[in-house]
Copies of this chain bind each other. A is one copy, B any other.
Amino acid sequence: MHDRGYHAAGVTDIAADAGVAKGGFYSQFASKDDLGVAVVDKFADRMFAALHEHLDDPREPSPLRRLHRYFAARIAHHEAQGFVRGCLLGNFALELGDHSEPVRQRVEHYFEELARALAEPIRAAQAAGEVRDDRGALPLARFVVTAWEGALLAMRARKSAAPLREFVAMTLDDFLVGAARR
């Protein structure tokens, strides 16, 4: 589902790839929609695991640098993969957001969770004077998430890391730091 998209991934193929017969799939999931929801949850789990690996890294004292490390790791990942697939939350938001309310709600929820997770180091960085404090940490974090999703979309359109690097330069190094440091 992540690399073909929800509709293009057939249940038969999914079951076969899992080494399970067709019917076996339906003993675990009530429907394909059901799997879609489970896939969103699973993806979010992994995303938050990778996120906290960097945000909670005790070796890096600067919260702003922890943020940078996370996105640098994501960029390295996407570069290694050849700029495919992107973020499944974003993909599902566009492919299913208008037609599957359960999926949409979960995607919305995880986006907000992600923003809340990013708001922590941003808030700490504000306290340390590393990030502008004329705006709340959560609104800033929401904008970071949105800009990152846009960058991933542009990455897939251009098959290039340039949009991701522009995200770092514009959103993290410029906008987030604010006028104070420019």
Binding site for B on A (CB under 8 A): 3-5, 7-8, 84-86, 89-91, 93-95, 97-99, 104, 107-108, 111, 134, 139, 142-143, 145-151, 153-154, 156-159, 163, 166-167, 170, 174-175, 178-179, 182
Contacts and interface: CB of A to CB of B under 8 A. Distances in A.
Interface of A is mostly: helix
28 contacts: A4-B99, A5-B7, A5-B95, A7-B7, A84-B98, A85-B98, A89-B157, A91-B95, A93-B157, A94-B153, A94-B156, A95-B95, A97-B157, A97-B159, A104-B156, A111-B154, A142-B154, A143-B166, A146-B147, A146-B154, A146-B167, A148-B150, A149-B153, A149-B154, A150-B151, A174-B175, A179-B179, A179-B182
Given A90-B153, A149-B153, A153-B153, 5 more contacts: A97-B159, A146-B147, A146-B151, A146-B166, A147-B147
